[in-house]
Amino acid sequence: MESEIQHLDRVFLAIGPLTIYWYGVIIAVGAMIGLWIAQRESIRRGLPKETFMDIVLYAIPIAILSARAYYVIFQWGYYSQHPGEIIKIWEGGLAIHGGLIGAFITGYVFAKKRGLSFWQLADIATPSIILAQAIGRWGNFMNQEAHGGEVTRSFLEGLHLPKFIIDQMYIEGVYYHPTFLYESLWSLLGFVVLISLRKVNLKRGEIFLSYLIWYSIGRFFVEGLRTDSLMLTESLRMAQFISIVLIVIAVVAWWYRRSKGYAKVRYLDQENRQGKTY
């Protein structure tokens, strides 16, 4: 059986010295789809149509740099001995939490500079972000990384996974948990939930807080299965610690904003010009 396994090629396109990897292509596709969705929603809410295009011009490069910096910092024992590999992001090693920190700081500064509401921008952006995360995890799949512990082929077949996923989870003679898939599916479901919440009379910022809670719950449990976790201590995984912190912050912020009785805000629906509660 193992002799028949054909792994997927990590290279998307190679032209002379130029090599483009599936990892980068998949992440780029996720970002573009997310941007398209965010642009449509921002226009529907009466924001200038170029708002999110302007944001991503800053947010995406900063998020990539912060995601890489976050990863390198917690793997410094290795990268201090191999500094030439720090720039090799096409081989993987982008920490989502680092990217989120960079993206949201960028969004906050952008909102202040433009006189916009950060909470509104975050509400619009987070469904796109979690969808991009769901798509981006398939870049980890192509790189055969971000997997969990050892399992058997029969276990994977029992999950009714397609053969190409099962084969790709066969790495150096061992089958592994497809944790990339678990997180991708959780994030995809989260996208559906967050989009659905747009129809509910939530207060400004509560879709963003819902995203923090939803993603962090899934990440906490998936991280417990992974074998490549960044560690805060010998026994504490960094992503699990950050997930707990984000859940607490989101719940406290939700309670605080509700207890202060912030008024529900109204936005302009571009299609029917009627005020709607958001």
Instruction: Indicate the DSSP class of residue 82.
Output: -
Confirm whether residue 137 is marked as ligand binding: yes
State how far the Cα of 154 lies from the Cα of 109, in Å rounded to an integer: 50
Dihedrals phi, psi of 55, to nearest 5 degrees: -65, -50
Taking a C-beta distance cutoff of 8 angstroms, is the pair 130, 137 a contact? no
Nearest-angstrom CA–CA distance, 273 and 15: 51
Bridge partners (DSSP) listed for residue 19: 14
For residues 42 and 18, what is the distance between their CA atoms, to the nearest angstrom?
37
Q: Is the dihedral of CA 90, 92, 96, 97 positive or negative?
A: negative
Give the phi and the psi of residue 163 in degrees, each rounded to 5: -60, -35
Q: Which residues are annotated as a binding site?
A: 137
